């Protein structure tokens, strides 16, 4: 019955399967959505590079059969920025977790968004540092229990779409691992959008976050998304905080145009140097 090849075989390293993610983890679903988005976007596969940081979601790069890079903790975005500037033809995608992109890599995140570097950032948010044992992260809602907040978190978590929009991202969306068709469409749009595109994906973490908070398994978490999600395209990003077990507002919030880093650089240098300046990336090698 298994003679036929898996449709994702051209994009995934099937020889590495089964992967390390726990049963009920949503990261695999996000990878499927990404693979489908790649096929829908129609970008040649040799013109795509995938960069991941550290963490459970950092493993994504290892399972994708494209040019993929597993970088140091929090430095996925600087690495992707360098990759994009060195070879502007590439579509550079960063897939990583909230702990990697927003906590240790938070500074890189806001500055890449501010400069509007043409990279696509897909942030898988599972509300804690899962790979290191479920510690409190910058997205953990209060009063969730984690390894390092045994009496409940009391810090205010980040509102990622607001952070991205405020920093200057041109495309901001949020979905969950349950809203896969919409997530695929959003990822396709992000891949084809010029500039810093950001998609936050809420994913279940059954082994650590759900277990410590006694929320059941991955399936129970998907049922929670089903019951509590509200799709509201174009919503004001200031109102997108996720409270513990409360409603999750999702949709496409921002889709705007801003000059990218390279465009702004070309414009400025052309103004200063005139015809002597050759546009970035066009210089004969």
Contacts to another protein by CB under 8 A: 1-2, 4, 6-8, 12, 14, 17-19, 21-29, 31-33, 36, 177-178, 180-181, 184, 217-219, 222-223
Radius of gyration of the chain (CA): 19
Name the residue nearer to another protein (CB basis): 92 or 203: 203
Q: State in angstroms the smallest separation of the CB of 163 from another protein.
A: 27
Q: Do 129 and 164 contact (CB within 8 A), yes or no?
A: no
Minimum CB separation of residue 49 from another protein in Å reads 21
d(CA 145, CA 11): 37
**Residue placing its CB nearer to another protein in the complex, 176 or 260:** 176
Cα distance between the two ends of the chain: 52
Q: Residue 115, SS3?
A: helix
- Sign of the CA dihedral running 271, 277, 278, 283: negative
β-strand pairing of 67-70 with 48-52: parallel
Residue (219 or 230) nearer to another protein, CB: 219
Q: What is the pairing mode between strands 229-231 and 248-255?
A: parallel
Q: How far is the CB of 217 from another protein (least distance, A)?
A: 7
Contacts of 95 (CB under 8 A, 6+ apart): 30, 31, 34, 50, 51, 52, 57, 60, 61, 122, 124
User: By C-beta, is 217 or 241 nearer to another protein?
Assistant: 217
Give whichever of 25 and 110 is closer to another protein, judged by the CB atom: 25
List phi, psi (to 5°) of 172.
Answer: -130, 125
Minimum CB distance to another protein, residue 6 (Å): 5
- The DSSP H or E segment spanning 173 is strand 171-176
Which residue lies nearer to another protein by CB, 122 or 196?
122
- Cβ of residue 50: shortest distance to another protein, in angstroms? 16
CB proximity list for 181: less than 8 A, separation 6 or greater: none
- Nearer to another protein by C-beta: 146 or 184? 184
Instruction: In angstroms, give the least distance from the CB of 31 to another protein.
Output: 8
Q: How far is CA 145 from CA 26, 78, 99, in A?
A: 20, 32, 16
In whole angstroms, how close is the CB of 35 to another protein at the nearest point? 9
């Amino acid at each position: 019955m298994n003679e036929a090849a898996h449709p994702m075989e051209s994009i995934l390293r099937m020889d590495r399967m089964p992967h390390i993610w726990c049963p009920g983890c949503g990261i695999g679903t996000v990878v499927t959505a990404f693979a489908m988005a790649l096929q829908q976007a129609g970008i040649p596969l040799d013109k795509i590079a995938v960069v991941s940081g550290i963490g459970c979601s950092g493993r994504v790069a290892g399972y994708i059969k494209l040019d993929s890079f597993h970088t140091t903790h929090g430095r996925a975005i600087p690495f992707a920025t360098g990759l994009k500037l060195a070879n502007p033809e590439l579509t550079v995608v960063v897939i990583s977790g909230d702990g990697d992109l927003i906590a240790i890599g938070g500074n890189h995140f806001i500055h890449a968004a501010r400069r509007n570097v043409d990279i696509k950032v897909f942030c898988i948010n599972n509300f804690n540092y899962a790979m290191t044992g479920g510690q409190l992260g910058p997205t953990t809602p209060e009063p969730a229990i984690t390894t390092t907040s045994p009496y409940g978190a009391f810090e205010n978590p980040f509102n990622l779409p607001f952070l991205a929009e405020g920093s200057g991202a041109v495309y901001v969306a949020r979905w969950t691992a349950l809203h896969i068709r919409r997530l695929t469409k959003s990822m396709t749009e992000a891949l084809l959008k010029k500039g810093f595109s950001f998609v936050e994906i809420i994913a279940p973490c059954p082994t650590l976050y759900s277990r410590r908070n006694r929320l059941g398994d991955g399936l129970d978490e998907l049922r929670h998304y089903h019951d509590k999600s509200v799709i509201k395209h174009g919503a004001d990003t200031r109102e997108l905080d996720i409270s513990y077990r409360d409603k999750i507002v999702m949709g496409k919030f921002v889709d705007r145009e801003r000059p990218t880093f390279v465009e702004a650089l070309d414009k400025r240098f052309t103004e200063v140097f005139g015809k002597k300046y050759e546009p970035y990336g066009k210089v004969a090698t």
